[in-house]
Amino acid sequence: MNLARLVLREIRHRKINFALSLLGAALAVAAVLATIGALRSHDLQTEAIISDMEAATQSEMKKLEDEIRKSMKGLGFNIYIFPAGQEMSEVYADGYASKTMPESYVSKLADSKIVTVNHLLPSLTQKLEWPEQKRTIILIGVRGEVPIAHRDPKAPLIDPVVPGHLVLGYELHRSLGLKKGDPVTFMGKEFTVGDAYEARGSKDDITIWMNLGECQELLGKVGLINAIQALECNCATLDRLGEIRAELMQILPDTQIIETQSTALARAEARNQAAATARQQIESKKAQRAQLKAERQKLAGVLLPAATLVSMIWIGLLTFINVRERLPEIGILRAIGVKGRTILGAFLVRAIIAGLVGGAMGAAVAKFVSPTILPKEWLIAICLAPLLAALGAWLPSLAAAQRDPADVLRHD
Amino acid sequence: MTESINSNSPDASADTEVRPPALCLDEVNKQYRTAEGHVQALDEVSLTLENGEFVALHGPSGCGKSTLLLMAGGLLSPDSGTLTIAGGHPYALGAEARAAFRALHVGFVFQQFHLIPYLDVLDNVLVGELAGTGGDHRERARELLDAFQLGHRLHHVPSKLSIGEQQRVALARAFLRSPALILADEPTGNLDTENAAIILEHLGRFAASGDGAVLMVTHDDRARAAASRSVEMRDGQLV
């Protein structure tokens, strides 16, 4: 006969009392682990929300950037590079430079390590009379964007005009009744209308765009251009023009630079602002979630000890009832020489088994309810449950162990 | 059932050895405090039970019989006087040592049997092993249960036994370690004539073996008749 046998037989005999003890331990462990799991789920949820927000922001930024890039077609460019001797008053009066510079300048820029501008578009512009139609137009020869060699190529901002084609501004094609695909003669050469633009309410409406090479040939300015347009500034300081000038002057000393159409830059800056706002929103969300977590932790800080304490009291109460039911047994065991500490051990071992089995059951339930609980936490809970159960059962067990057998037997 | 059920005791043939009395009380007193004042439960009681004696203690309710029995069992210390069991002084020992002393030298039988309800017959007899005084008593328990005609009931719980069988299990538990002293409190109080006779026969046989003595509190005339000596108690005194 040994203590374990006595305890196990007693547990089998008083199943309800033991089952209630198991339930107490299981509920406490399940509550504690589920709360820990819920807090961790909160963290994971926060990570997911923030990650989604960041992905959405990134996507939105990309979209915004594409939109800006597209809108630049209509907004124009914010940097113009003109030949060094060009009178700017003439440019402001006529809208283009009368002087020219070699087209190779744009290749020189594109092949350089330039960082302050992003897009380079060479053009040859001239106001002239369309001899066949007897009307003044602005002719612009374009070759599309020249990719900067050391960067990833991007979609061209302005589609190059296919040789043999013309793109007509609104007033021209409307008044002449021309449409896409129609043949048209310009300066004695046959072309096809490649595109006919909608009204823009600007000089674009009386503009003809042509392939740069053909334009140079018609104007007798082969290999020459009169402007390079550049877009966007990756500047580090507010003096962006100063930075651009400083860099460009090193590459193309025989040019001059002016800044126009700052709206484009403003759009680009708006994009950066939008990114900053999005970052702020993410930070705000993080702070909000952190505050929610802190509140939950505070609540858990009250609930967890309460659940543990209630469970300990519950097990202590059930042990007390068990002791009361077993008083005659305690009396006879003490009478026949069983020591007080053995009696104490019998009740504590019973409580420890309840804590261990109940704790394991509670941990299993918690695993089902909250899969985010770590194995280490289960292990700690399963180890702590019997300890706390023993603590809960300590007082009634001690009272049982110290019970005077003579007193028990005399009153039985 | 002529074999000795106290076979773990020293050989009865060694009777030349002078052994101390199973129980010796010398002018013991015990007083209880109650709401009404002090009650003298035992008043200068002196009683000696030699090995081999089967003594019946009787008297009216409240005369101190149970107090005397508990004191004789090492469970209730006297206010004054001396008490020895098999020559030992249990009240000179600490609580733990006195418990071990009880386990080795005293056996108890109660009117209510006090069997452990969830243990089977064999485990109820062996429950004294929890005292931790050593030894494997399984064979001894089986022998006792066979002798008490309970060999076929070893694995039955008390609720499956008759009243008489339950008392015989309690008796086997008391006899397990061949104690010097068996203390029986109304052992036949709940039994029919037949079962009472069986219990008294076993108690008488235990005493007759000479290895110990039996002190039995009883109101039953049949039980008194079975004893080798009868002692009457009134108002805390032996008369």
Is residue A198 within 8 angstroms of chain B, CB to CB?
no
Together in a domain, A213 and A155: yes
Together in a domain, A282 and A255: no
Q: Which residue has the higher pLDDT, A44 or A132?
A: A132
- The minimum CA-CA distance between A390 and chain B, rounded to whole Å, is 21
Q: Strands, DSSP E only, in B35-158?
A: 37-49, 54-58, 80-85, 106-110
In DSSP notation, A194-253 reads EEEPPP-SSGGGGEEEEEHHHHHHHHT-TTEESEEEEEEE--SSS-HHHHHHHHHHHH-T
Q: Mean pLDDT check: name the lowest of A72-76, A98-102, A398-402.
A: A72-76
B179: confidence class by pLDDT, cuts 50, 70, 90: very high
Together in a domain, A96 and A226: yes
pLDDT given for residue A354 in this prediction? 94
User: Domain for residue A271, yes or no?
Assistant: no
User: Domain for residue A69, yes or no?
Assistant: no
pLDDT given for residue B19 in this prediction? 84
pLDDT at A114 over 80: no
User: Domain for residue A71, yes or no?
Assistant: no
Q: Residue B94 class from Cβ within 10 Å (0-12 exposed, 13-18 middle, 19+ buried)?
A: exposed
- The minimum CA-CA distance between B99 and chain A, rounded to whole Å, is 4
Answer yes or no: do B70 and A332 touch at CB < 8 A. no
8 A C-beta contact, residue B233 and residue B30: no
Q: Which helix (H) or strand (E) holds A75?
A: helix A15-75
A262: confidence class by pLDDT, cuts 50, 70, 90: low
| Best to test chain A binding among B76, B105, B130 (most A CBs inside 10 Å) | B130
Is residue A327 within 8 angstroms of chain B, CB to CB?
no
Together in a domain, A208 and A281: no
pLDDT given for residue A42 in this prediction? 81
Together in a domain, A138 and A236: yes
- The minimum CA-CA distance between A351 and chain B, rounded to whole Å, is 18
| A129 CB-near residues (< 8 Å, 6+ apart) | A135, A136, A137
pLDDT given for residue B172 in this prediction? 94
User: Domain for residue A311, yes or no?
Assistant: yes
8 A C-beta contact, residue B18 and residue B86: no
Give the whole-angstrom CA distance, residue A355 versus residue A11.
13
B109: β partners: B184
User: Domain for residue A226, yes or no?
Assistant: yes
Q: Please name the residue of chain A whose CA is at the shortest distance from the CA of residue B182.
A: A336
Q: Mean pLDDT check: name the lowest of A16-30, A283-297, A378-392.
A: A283-297
Least CB–CB distance from B75: residue in A14, A329, A335 = A335
Together in a domain, A296 and A240: no
pLDDT at A234 over 70: no
pLDDT given for residue A264 in this prediction? 52
Residue bearing tokens 């009472």: B196
A259: β partners: A79
Residue type at position A52? D
Render pLDDT for A325-337 as a digit per residue (tens, 0 to 9): 998 899 899 999 9
Domain residue spans in chain B?
51-77+88-238
Chain B interface with A: residues with Cβ < 8 Å: 66, 70, 73, 75-76, 95-96, 99-104, 106-108, 110, 112, 114, 116-119, 123, 126-133, 173
Percent of chain A past pLDDT 70, that is, above it, reads 88
Q: What are the tokens at A188?
A: 């004695």
* CB < 8 Å to B95, chain A: 340
Give the whole-angstrom CA distance, residue A358 versus residue A364.
10
Residue A279: how many other CB atoms lie within 10 Å: 13
- The minimum CA-CA distance between B5 and chain A, rounded to whole Å, is 19
Give the whole-angstrom CA distance, residue B164 versus residue A163.
124
Together in a domain, A297 and A393: yes
8 A C-beta contact, residue A392 and residue A316: yes
* CB < 8 Å to B100, chain A: 337, 339
| A254 CB-near residues (< 8 Å, 6+ apart) | A83, A84, A101
Give the angle subtended at the CA of A342 by the CAs of A339 and A345, to the nearest 5°. 155
Give the whole-angstrom CA distance, residue A396 versus residue B86.
36
| B225 CB-near residues (< 8 Å, 6+ apart) | none
B92: confidence class by pLDDT, cuts 50, 70, 90: very high
Is residue A24 within 8 angstroms of chain B, CB to CB?
no
Burial A44-76 (b: 16+ CB within 10 A, else e): eebeeeeeebeeebeeeeeebeeebbeebeebe
* CB < 8 Å to B106, chain A: 337
Residue bearing tokens 């985010």: A372
Render pLDDT for A77-112 as a digit per residue (tens, 0 to 9): 578 899 988 998 888 888 899 999 999 999 888 888
pLDDT given for residue A233 in this prediction? 59
B46: confidence class by pLDDT, cuts 50, 70, 90: very high
Average pLDDT (A21-36) is 88
pLDDT at A157 over 90: no
Answer yes or no: do B118 and A13 touch at CB < 8 A. yes
- The minimum CA-CA distance between B177 and chain A, rounded to whole Å, is 11
DSSP state at residue B88: B
Together in a domain, A110 and A215: yes
Give the whole-angstrom CA distance, residue B62 versus residue B219.
13
Total structural domains in chain A? 2
Q: What is the mean pLDDT of chain A?
A: 85
| A16 CB-near residues (< 8 Å, 6+ apart) | none
User: Domain for residue A291, yes or no?
Assistant: yes
Q: Which residue has the higher pLDDT, A261 or B23?
A: B23
Render pLDDT for A176-216 as a digit per residue (tens, 0 to 9): 999 999 999 999 999 999 999 999 898 899 999 999 999 99
A74: confidence class by pLDDT, cuts 50, 70, 90: very low
Together in a domain, A120 and A231: yes
* CB < 8 Å to B99, chain A: 334, 337-340
B9: confidence class by pLDDT, cuts 50, 70, 90: very low
- Taking the CA atoms of B215, B220, B222 and B225 in sequence, report the sign of the dihedral they define: positive
Residue bearing tokens 């002529």: B2
Q: How many CB pairs under 8 A join A and B?
A: 89
Among A199, A227, A260, identify where a domain stops: A260
- Largest alpha-carbon pair distance within chain A? 136
Please give the C-alpha separations between residue A301 and each of A44, A46, A182, A305, in angstroms, as whole numbers: 20, 20, 80, 7
Identify the three-state secondary structure at position A363.
Answer: helix
Least CB–CB distance from A406: residue in B76, B110, B123 = B76
Please give the C-alpha separations between residue B36 and each of A280, A411, B29, B33, B39, in angstroms, as whole numbers: 84, 19, 19, 8, 9
Q: Residue A275 class from Cβ within 10 Å (0-12 exposed, 13-18 middle, 19+ buried)?
A: middle
pLDDT at A131 over 60: yes
In DSSP notation, A314-348 reads HHHHHHHHHHHHTHHHHHHHHHTT--HHHHHHHHH
Together in a domain, A255 and A289: no
User: Phi/psi at B206 (nearest 5 deg)?
Assistant: -60, -45
A363: β partners: none
Structural domain of residue A26, as residue ranges?
3-57+277-411
pLDDT at B5 over 70: no
Among A232, A260, A288, identify where a domain stops: A260
Average pLDDT (A260-269) is 58
Q: Residue A296 class from Cβ within 10 Å (0-12 exposed, 13-18 middle, 19+ buried)?
A: middle
Average pLDDT (B172-177) is 92
Give the whole-angstrom CA distance, residue A408 versus residue A209.
115
pLDDT given for residue B1 in this prediction? 36
Together in a domain, A345 and A374: yes
- The minimum CA-CA distance between A30 and chain B, rounded to whole Å, is 32
Q: Please name the residue of chain A whose CA is at the shortest distance from the CA of residue B111.
A: A412
What ipTM did this prediction achieve? 0.87
Answer yes or no: do B129 and A1 touch at CB < 8 A. yes
User: Domain for residue A323, yes or no?
Assistant: yes
Give the whole-angstrom CA distance, residue B14 versus residue A372.
76
Together in a domain, A147 and A239: yes
Give the whole-angstrom CA distance, residue B1 versus residue B3.
6
Give the whole-angstrom CA distance, residue A324 versus residue A328.
9
Is residue A15 within 8 angstroms of chain B, CB to CB?
no
Least CB–CB distance from A339: residue in B66, B96, B106 = B96
Render pLDDT for B118-165 as a digit per residue (tens, 0 to 9): 999 999 999 989 988 788 889 999 999 999 989 999 999 999 999 999
Please give the C-alpha separations between residue A354 and each of A10, A327, A396, A407, in angstroms, as whole numbers: 13, 21, 15, 30
Q: What are the tokens at B69?
A: 């029995």
User: Domain for residue A402, yes or no?
Assistant: yes
Among A260, A294, A310, identify where a domain stops: A260
CATH top class, domain B51-77+88-238: alpha beta
